[in-house]
Chain A
C-alpha cells in the first residue's frame, strides 16, 4: 500500500496509526501558494561524504563557487525605510553595506575602505548621511562614491579607480533585501524562481520583528541546514512535538535550487496514540486563533481542520487577512529552504526564518541567525523593533525546540569527523538534504560534472 503522500507504505513505517491528514485540493488554490506535489528528482542513494562538513578545501570551494556566486539574504526592508538607513551584514570574510538611497532604491557595497582596508561600519543597522572611515576620514556618499580624501594632493597616484566602492547587485523582495557578491550574478527573478508565487501570499510586510538573534554554533553551516531539512529527527530530538505536529505525513517538494516541505501542525504524530485531552501546545494554537479550547466539543483529531475553519471565518474580524492563503496554510508549517542558507517556516500569523552563515575561516563553526516576524493585525500599533542579540551557543536559551537542535548539532559535527564515518546515509524522508547537496554539487563542480573522486 503506497498510501503516503511521498509514495511510501505508511503502515510499514514506525507508527502507531496510519493517518491521512486533510489536504486542500491543489486545483483550488488559484494564484496562491501551490500545494501540488512536485515530481521527485531522481537523485540516487549515494552517500554524502562527511568531509564536506569539515574539510578546509571544501570550505574554500564553497566560498569561491557558492557564497560568492549566489544571491544572499541581507535583512529586512523595514529596517531601512529612510534615505541613509543602512544594514551592514557579514558573510564569511566579507561584510556588505546595503544602503537606502535618496530616491528610495537600495545600493550595496563591500563594507571596506579603499584606503587601507578598514571596515567602514560594524555589523548592524544605522543611519548615515555619509560613510566616513574612522581611520583617516576617507568619506563615501550613500551611493558609494568616494567624495573626499583628506590631503588628496599627497597621493601621487590620485584616488582609486572610479572613486567609488564596488557596486554589488542588490534587490528587495517580499519585505526582505538581498545582495550578491557576484557582479555577474543571474537576475534575482531567475534565482528565486519559483518561490515568488509560493511566499508572496504570506505578506511578510504585514509582519513585525519578534526576535532577532545570532548564535555562534560549533558546527558547519550545512550541519544546521540539514537539521532543518527533515522531520525524521522529531522522534529523536523533539519528542514533545509529536503532540503538536504530524512529522510523518510530510509532503516534500524539490524545485530547482530550492525545496520545501509541508508539515501538518495542530496534529498528533502517527508515532503516538491519539490522546483524548488537548495537548498543551495545540491548546495554545487554538487560543492564538481566538478559540476557547474549553468550548471545544470535537475530537483531538479534528482540531487542525477546525482551527482552519475558525480562522477562515474569524480572521477578517481579527484584522488578519488570510484571503490569499489556503486552508492548510492557516495551521500548517510550509517550510522552505532558499538555497543556500535560508530555512524559513512560513505560517499565516508568523514567519520563523533561520539564516545560516559560514564562519570566516573555520568549517566547524557557523553563525545561526533567528529572525521571527509576527503578523500585526490591522488597526493595531506596529510594535517597537526588537533588539538584536548575539551570543554563544549555550549562554542563553533560544526556546525549547531550537535548544534541542542546538545541543545536538555539535555532537553531529564532531561525530562526522570520525575515521569510521565515511558519509551520510540518507533516506527519502531526508530527500531535501540530498537535493540540497545536489545543488551544492552543481555549483561547485558544474551541473552534473561532479566526479567520483570529488568531495
Chain B
C-alpha cells in the first residue's frame, strides 16, 4: 500500500525525541520534507542532522511553544521553508505533575495552547491549499485512570474533544483531523525508562497489564500517526485511534 507521503510537507512540534522524533523518522523515510522544533537547540540540531540521511529536506530551529509570538513566527518560518504544509503533528506536553496549581497552567499552556496555536498557525495555509492532515496526540490516560488526579490527563482529554470539532469544521476544506492516543511507550530518556529505573514495582505492574508483556515502542505509535497523516487515511476524519498494544480495558463500540 502506498501511503502517498512522498513529497509531503510536515511540521512537527516537539519532535526531537520519543514518539515525535520517531514520527519524523517515519515520515522522512517515506519521503516527506520536515520542519521540526523542540525547546533545546542541541536536540533540534541533533535531530535535524540524523534525519538528513533520508535525503529529504529537513529543517529545524528551537522555539519555546509557551511564547506565542516567537512560536507563531516559527510556524510561519516552517511553512515558508517547506513552501506549504500538508501535515501537522504537535507533540508538546508538560507531562505529569500533581500537588501544585501551577501544573494546570503548565498543562494548559503546553498540552493545549501550544497545540491550538500550532493548528491555528497552519489552518489558513491548509485552507488555501484545500488540503491538509492534522494528527493530535491524546493518551490512554484520558479514557482510563492513571497516575492520580492530574491536569495532564484532563487537558489531554480536551484535545480529543477539540480534535473532533476541528475535523467537522474544516472537513469541507479538505483538512482532516484525527487523534492518536498512545498507551505507555518506553524509550531511552523517556518517562517509562525512568519509571523502570526508579519505580520497579509499578513498572512491573504495568507490564502485567500489557497483553504482550512489554510496553510500546515509539515507532509503533509513529506508524499509526503516519498512516492517519497520509492520504492512505483519506476517509479517516474525526477519528480517535488508541494505540496501546491492548493496555486499556475499554471496548470502543
Chain A residues with CB under 8 Å of chain B are: 16, 239-240, 242-243, 272-277, 279-281, 292-295, 299
Contacts and interface: CB of A to CB of B under 8 A. Distances in A.
Nearest to A274: B189
Interface string B144-168: 0000000000000000000000000
Interface centre among B40, B189, B194 (most CB of A within 10 A): B194
B128 interface: no
Contact of A276 (B95, B102, B197): B95
Nearest to A273: B189
Nearest to B104: A294
Q: Which bucket holds chain B's interface residue count? A: 20 to 34
B106 A294 contact: yes
A293 B98 CA distance: 10
B100 A272 contact: no
Contacts of A242: 197
B133 to A, nearest CB: 27
B211 to A, nearest CB: 27
Interface string B193-237: 110011110000000000000000000000000000000000000
Interface of B: 17, 40, 95-97, 99-103, 106, 188-191, 193-194, 197-200
A302 to B, nearest CB: 11
A281 B198 contact: yes
Contacts, number: 53
B197 A239 contact: yes
A243 B197 contact: yes
A279 B100 contact: no
A273 B97 contact: no
Given A275-B193, A276-B95, A293 B100 contact: yes
A20 B96 CA distance: 29
Contacts of B103: 294
A281 B197 CA distance: 12
A280 B40 contact: no
A275 B190 contact: yes
A275 B101 CA distance: 23
A240 B17 contact: no
B197 A277 contact: no
9 contacts: A239-B200, A243-B197, A272-B194, A273-B188, A273-B193, A280-B199, A281-B198, A292-B100, A295-B102
A380 to B, nearest CB: 23
B43 to A, nearest CB: 9
A118 B101 CA distance: 64
B193 A277 contact: no
B100 A294 contact: yes
B102 A294 contact: yes
B124 to A, nearest CB: 30
A240 B198 contact: yes
8 smallest A-B Cβ distances: which pairs? A273-B189, A294-B102, A294-B100, A240-B198, A273-B188, A277-B95, A275-B194, A294-B103
Given A272-B193, A273-B188, A279 B97 contact: no
B191 to A, nearest CB: 6
Contacts of B199: 240, 280
A336 B195 CA distance: 31
A299 B199 CA distance: 22
A276 B106 contact: no
Contacts of A276: 17, 95, 189-191
Contacts of A292: 100, 102
B98 to A, nearest CB: 9
Contacts of A273: 188-189, 193
Contacts of A272: 188-189, 193-194, 197
A274 B103 CA distance: 22
Contacts of B100: 292-295
Contacts of A299: 40
B198 A243 contact: yes
A273 B197 CA distance: 11
Nearest to B194: A275
Nearest to B151: A294
A276 B14 CA distance: 12
B97 A293 contact: yes
A273 B18 CA distance: 12
B106 A279 contact: no
B83 to A, nearest CB: 31
Nearest to B189: A273
Contacts of B189: 272-276
Contact of A240 (B97, B191, B197): B197
Given A272-B193, A273-B188, A274-B189, A294 B97 contact: yes
A243 B197 CA distance: 8
Nearest to B187: A273
A294 B104 CA distance: 9
Contacts of B194: 243, 272, 275, 277, 279
A280 B198 contact: yes
Contacts of A240: 197-200
A279 B102 contact: no
Contacts of A277: 95-96, 191, 194
A291 to B, nearest CB: 11
Nearest to B191: A277
Nearest to B66: A297
Given A277-B96, A280-B198, A292-B100, 15 more contacts: A239-B197, A272-B188, A272-B197, A273-B193, A274-B189, A275-B189, A275-B194, A276-B95, A276-B191, A277-B191, A277-B194, A280-B199, A294-B97, A294-B103, A295-B100
Contacts of A274: 189
Contacts of B102: 292, 294-295
